[in-house]
Structure 1
Amino acid sequence: MSKLGAAATAIEHTFVVSQVNMTRLCNETLVTVVNGQFPGPMVEVTEGDSVAVHVVNKSPYNLTIHWHGVKQRLNCWADGVPMITQCPIRPGHNFTYRFNITVQQGTLWWHAHVASLRASVHGALIIRPRQGATSYPFPKPHREIPIIIGEWWETDLVQMAGNMTDGYFGFNPVAATLNGKLGALYNWSGAMEEGYVLEVEPGKTYLLRCSNAVLTSEHYLKITGHKLTVVAADANYVTPYTTDTVAIAPGQTLDALLVADAPPRRSYYMVSMGSQPTLANPPSPVIVTRGTVQYRSSSSSDGHEPAGNGVPLPPMVPDMPDLHDTATSFYFHGNLTSLHKSRVPTRVDEHLLIMLSAGSICRRGHRPCKRSGDMESNVLVTMNNISFELPAAAAATTPLLESHYYHRNEPAYVTLPDRPQRAFNFADHALIPFGPKEAALEPTGKATTARRFRHGMAVEVVFQNTAVMQSDYNPMHLHGHDMFVVAQGRGNYDAARDVARYNLVDPHLRNTVLVPSLGWTAVRFVTDNPGVWYIFFTATMSTILQLAWQQCSS
């Protein structure tokens, strides 16, 4: 990395993507990583900087890098979505991303945007204000600490993603990680895994810059004996909110202040646990890990306090929420507001109700076919009952952005409907298990879906989760924009009832919003950044939003 010039405005990195053998739980696994690191290198910039990242692909996979949350103002070409904004970087080839950091401060992250490789190809992206830490709207921290919540997989992630695309599920990570370390909850033949250790000094304040890099699970993060004060979310300042448990969904980031104000004569566990709103049968494994907050002034070399008889006291373990607790997540997200009054649109030009669901199609085009988990059909995630697919034939060799910008091989898009094609009780628990009731709602379709907006429009989207074959949370990430989170609720959205509860004064802004289990989230955004922008939920592409094209330049 280098910062060039007195104004420190140019940041340059080289990312070498390769496969290395890493040993965890006494097993050697071939892992795709950047610069031999898991997580990958941290990118630190100042608001106003220009960034150049040279990606050298020495892995066997096609890939791109997405700068998650960077708005890429008038620069959609650097967004890093394969076959949407660029062709993938082929093995043995290089590509340079160039973009500017404008009007953004806080914690974001970067990750591979191919298959499931983001589970190992990712890292923190920190944007500091021009005036330095003295301009933070909270007490200047003693130190800033990146905390990346991740997963450890003992499988070929690209093959796994292909299997899931074909409808084969049941894949699970073997462990959770904090900054790449599994922690002492995991051991093999009595050999404990190394855990993450955060050393603190009594009375000092630390800014934890947290990112959730897991594939599907929201995580609860908690430190025994300490409170956390959330001050930012997705690089947007929020009204300080103090809690003992933070909830962070896949793709989201949080900045939280930790004051080292617990009794310093012992250490404390930092625990991250993936929540499971679905009561699965058979149950999924519990994905949890823990590190240690260790007070520097009086800790022994092993991080334990020597008791009076010389026997070390173990670190204190926090009481975590129940594995299937959805209320903690719901109220955590509902309590976040913007630090400043927001310029949220009060007049809306276009309203959409987008149903997030699962469905199925018959394999190889055979109709009719057996459903409800039968291998004659393939399960897909959908938005308003359509699952996105890239165009076939010649158009598939040209990214969608390039196709439209240069008017070459432009596919025939299917417009994403304003509303679900069929109304039903979206939150009906009877739809979760396979059976006749959900089978009637399964049939779905695949198409190259898009939604076109004029520049400068105010758009409201209500994301409605359903119970069809699932009851998960669903994080929704919109590229190129932040969204005002104006409301959330449980059950079915009802405009006549729920619009009155909208927060149009100080809703917080996010690039990734969490739609509650068997509930809904309402957002508003302005189409002020022309380009072809991608929107997806969980780990699977569902559709894209096409905004105004004419101002997007190469």
Structure 2
Amino acid sequence: MITQCPILPNQNSTYRFNISGQEGTLWWHAHDLCLRASLHGAFIIRPRNGASSYPFPKPHKEIPIIIGEWWEKELAQVDTNIRNGFFADEPSASTINGKVGDLYSCSGVLQDGYVLDVEPGKTYLLRVLNAALFHEYYFRIAGHKFTVVAADANYVNPYTTDILAVSPGETMDALVIADAPPGRYYMVALPTKWPLAKIQGPVTAYVTRGMLQYKDTHIHGTEESDPYGNVPVVPDMPDMHDKMVSFYFHGNLTSMEHPWRPPVPTDVDEHLFLVLGEGKTSCRRAQSCTRRKGDGDRNIRVATMNNVSFELHSQMTSLLEARYYHAIDMDALQELPDRPPRVFNYTDRTLIPEGPKEELLEQTSKATVARRLGHGAAVEVVFQSTALLQSNAHPMHLHGYDMFVVAQGLGNHDPEKDVVRYNLVNPPLKNTVAVPNLGRAAVRFVADNPGVWFLHCHFQSHLSMGMAAVFFVEDGPTAAASLPPPPADFPRCGLGDGSMPHEYYFQTRKDSSDA
């Protein structure tokens, strides 16, 4: 457990937190195994003074659009399969606001999709979030354009586009004007795939669609013509393997000046260069580790940062509580390395297939990897995607913080040439950064929120495989800048008799020497 023990069956927990200085679309979800596929929702923070204070035209209506997945398989088993090296599991369908749409039939009956009714000339604010486990989605509405005004609950300079690219964990707020001829227009959510043939798992398409329809054009069914004699308009969608759509979309986002937007750090105290890839490690004795036909060794595939795959110790309390009570020794954890153990051509496409070349570079280990950050330290993290076993793009998410995305690019990071091109004027402020396939992204933030914060890829497969680490942010000089004690009703866990493993012995109160 990172920040808390789980809420057990037949129990509940109430969260109380301050949202001052925040506006926009966020979301909540389970963080246990793959359960967030069905346990999630939108969390919308509106301006205190109402919609009239938005830094864009007041919309007629605000509409949450949640892109998700429909799973028939047991989600806990899906997670177990991933951890044991099996990657064939896929959702049965994609959903828009919980509906699979008219491309799917259940018991031989085509399903209704989500329908958005609009009035001509009105402006609508769509709050789009991707709650899917495994895929980025391209989202398009036939005959209409989007004006993106916010990303991850941070305002951006208005950006007009006809397509949204939303990675797992990301949110995008976009204005849509109902300015097309009266009729019905499909909205399509297309899951993206790897640019080249993936070496594990089938390439399947489970695109879904809903409908934007103008007032007085509604009839039952979707393929029939409306009262004007028009059949629904279908948008042209890019190839699902075309990752450049996402690259250019995210590259066009810039932050808007706003009273509570923090300054961009210009001087950096901590530098981290994190190489994101996949590798192999030996199985633990209790695991079943056969990954693919013909693979006779006892290795399983894992996801890594600098060749280390994250795995929690068997402590029976959260790392956050252990940190507060000083019940954990940082020496007992493995420090997140500043750099990978070996420098190589990270985006060399010859590393995609298995062979002796990639095998030399992919050997890895499992550990609880953590990094201690001093309170107030300005931190720069460069995420570098690799071609190892074609590890794909990575939506990297940091709990407890927004990050300035000062650079995104294709190819290998060049510390001499790239830094001088950083956008330190208006970089987008995000909690999830889209690291391009065979590319890199650089972020900066100030570590001023004390606690234990999870950094991980938001592709659930990569998270379950270990592409994660923990930041331990130290207390500041005042009580207001320090970690508060856990509330009395904080979820607890432990052994049946309440005891804790020796390495994470949990104290019920601080020693007087800790005061």
Report the TM-score range of the alignment, normalised by the length of the smaller protein: 0.7 to 0.9
Partner residue, 1:510: 430
Q: What SS does the corresponding residue of 1:441 show, helix, strand or coil?
A: helix
The 5 Å alignment of 1:535-546 reads 535-537=455-457, 538-539=459-460, 540=463, 541=466, 542-546=468-472
Asked which structure has the greater RCO (Cα within 8 Å, sep 6+), the reply is 2
Q: How far 1:410 moved relative to its partner?
A: 4.3
Q: How far 1:204 moved relative to its partner?
A: 0.2
Q: What SS does the corresponding residue of 1:94 show, helix, strand or coil?
A: coil
Partner residue, 1:424: 344
Given that 1:403 and 1:410 are in contact with CA atoms closer than 8 Å, whether structure 2 keeps it comes out as no
Please list every run of 5 or more consecutive structure 2 residues that lacks an aligned counterpart in the other structure. Answer: 477-481, 486-515
Q: What SS does the corresponding residue of 1:533 show, helix, strand or coil?
A: strand
Partner residue, 2:190: 273
Whole-Å separation in 1 of the counterparts to 2:266 and 2:198 = 41
Residue by residue over 1:59-116, the C-alpha shift from the partner in whole angstroms, topping out at 9 and shown as x without a partner, is xxxxxxxxxxxxxxxxxxxxxxxx1111111222222222121210000000001000
User: Which of 275, 290, 299 is 1:377 aligned to?
Assistant: 299
- AA partner of residue 138 (structure 2): Y
Q: What SS does the corresponding residue of 1:364 show, helix, strand or coil?
A: coil
Partner residue, 2:504: none
- % identity of equivalent residues: 57
Whole-Å separation in 1 of the counterparts to 2:226 and 2:305 = 57
Pair 1:348-2:348 in alignment: no
Whole-Å separation in 1 of the counterparts to 2:285 and 2:412 = 33
Q: How far 1:153 moved relative to its partner?
A: 0.8
Partner residue, 2:232: 315
Whole-Å separation in 1 of the counterparts to 2:230 and 2:391 = 41
Given that 2:85 and 2:290 are in contact with CA atoms closer than 8 Å, whether structure 1 keeps it comes out as no
- AA partner of residue 193 (structure 2): Q
Whole-Å separation in 2 of the counterparts to 1:544 and 1:364 = 23
Q: What SS does the corresponding residue of 2:277 show, helix, strand or coil?
A: strand
- AA partner of residue 323 (structure 2): H
User: Which of 127, 132, 141 is 2:59 aligned to?
Assistant: 141
Q: What SS does the corresponding residue of 1:467 show, helix, strand or coil?
A: coil
Whole-Å separation in 2 of the counterparts to 1:188 and 1:453 = 52
Given that 1:267 and 1:305 are in contact with CA atoms closer than 8 Å, whether structure 2 keeps it comes out as no
Partner residue, 1:11: none
* TM-aligned CA distance change 1:306 to 1:117, over 3 Å: closer
Given that 1:178 and 1:289 are in contact with CA atoms closer than 8 Å, whether structure 2 keeps it comes out as yes
Whole-Å separation in 2 of the counterparts to 1:499 and 1:420 = 19
Given that 2:379 and 2:444 are in contact with CA atoms closer than 8 Å, whether structure 1 keeps it comes out as yes
Partner residue, 2:308: 386
Residue by residue over 1:415-452, the C-alpha shift from the partner in whole angstroms, topping out at 9 and shown as x without a partner, is 10111111111111111122222111221011111111
Pair 1:237-2:155 in alignment: yes
Aligned CA RMSD, in angstroms, stands at 2.0
Partner residue, 2:483: 552
Whole-Å separation in 1 of the counterparts to 2:297 and 2:236 = 42
Partner residue, 2:493: none
Given that 1:201 and 1:297 are in contact with CA atoms closer than 8 Å, whether structure 2 keeps it comes out as no
The 5 Å alignment of 1:449-488 reads 449-488=369-408
Whole-Å separation in 2 of the counterparts to 1:291 and 1:358 = 36
Partner residue, 2:359: 439
Partner residue, 2:206: 287
Whole-Å separation in 2 of the counterparts to 1:355 and 1:148 = 31
| Structure showing the higher strand proportion among its residues | 1
User: Which of 317, 337, 341 is 1:398 aligned to?
Assistant: 317
Whole-Å separation in 1 of the counterparts to 2:189 and 2:297 = 36
Q: How far 1:189 moved relative to its partner?
A: 5.9
Residue by residue over 1:157-212, the C-alpha shift from the partner in whole angstroms, topping out at 9 and shown as x without a partner, is 01210121122211111111000000011124641012000000000000000110
Whole-Å separation in 1 of the counterparts to 2:181 and 2:62 = 22
Q: How far 1:471 moved relative to its partner?
A: 3.9
Q: How far 1:272 moved relative to its partner?
A: 0.5
Partner residue, 2:6: 88
- AA partner of residue 470 (structure 2): I
Whole-Å separation in 2 of the counterparts to 1:153 and 1:300 = 30
Q: How far 1:219 moved relative to its partner?
A: 0.5
Whole-Å separation in 2 of the counterparts to 1:151 and 1:301 = 25
Q: What SS does the corresponding residue of 1:419 show, helix, strand or coil?
A: coil
Residue by residue over 1:118-139, the C-alpha shift from the partner in whole angstroms, topping out at 9 and shown as x without a partner, is 0000000000010000000111
Q: How far 1:408 moved relative to its partner?
A: 2.3
Pair 1:262-2:166 in alignment: no
Q: What SS does the corresponding residue of 1:240 show, helix, strand or coil?
A: strand
Whole-Å separation in 2 of the counterparts to 1:190 and 1:448 = 48
Q: How far 1:371 moved relative to its partner?
A: 9.4
Given that 1:484 and 1:508 are in contact with CA atoms closer than 8 Å, whether structure 2 keeps it comes out as yes
Whole-Å separation in 2 of the counterparts to 1:144 and 1:370 = 49
Q: What SS does the corresponding residue of 1:439 show, helix, strand or coil?
A: helix
Given that 1:230 and 1:241 are in contact with CA atoms closer than 8 Å, whether structure 2 keeps it comes out as yes
Whole-Å separation in 2 of the counterparts to 1:414 and 1:280 = 32
* TM-aligned CA distance change 1:276 to 1:212, over 3 Å: same
Q: How far 1:213 moved relative to its partner?
A: 0.2
Q: Which moved more, 1:295-304 or 1:436-445?
A: 295-304
* TM-aligned CA distance change 1:502 to 1:93, over 3 Å: same
| TM-score normalized by the length of structure 1 | 0.80
The 5 Å alignment of 1:18-167 reads 83-167=1-85
Whole-Å separation in 2 of the counterparts to 1:371 and 1:256 = 42
Given that 1:207 and 1:258 are in contact with CA atoms closer than 8 Å, whether structure 2 keeps it comes out as yes
Given that 2:281 and 2:363 are in contact with CA atoms closer than 8 Å, whether structure 1 keeps it comes out as yes
Q: How far 1:307 moved relative to its partner?
A: 6.5
Given that 2:23 and 2:153 are in contact with CA atoms closer than 8 Å, whether structure 1 keeps it comes out as yes
User: Which of 163, 187, 203 is 2:105 aligned to?
Assistant: 187
Q: Which moved more, 1:412-421 or 1:180-189?
A: 180-189
Partner residue, 1:61: none
| TM-score normalized by the length of structure 2 | 0.86
Whole-Å separation in 2 of the counterparts to 1:222 and 1:371 = 37
- AA partner of residue 78 (structure 2): M
- AA partner of residue 309 (structure 2): S
Given that 1:184 and 1:194 are in contact with CA atoms closer than 8 Å, whether structure 2 keeps it comes out as yes
Residue by residue over 1:230-283, the C-alpha shift from the partner in whole angstroms, topping out at 9 and shown as x without a partner, is 00000000000000011000000000000000001x200000001112422564
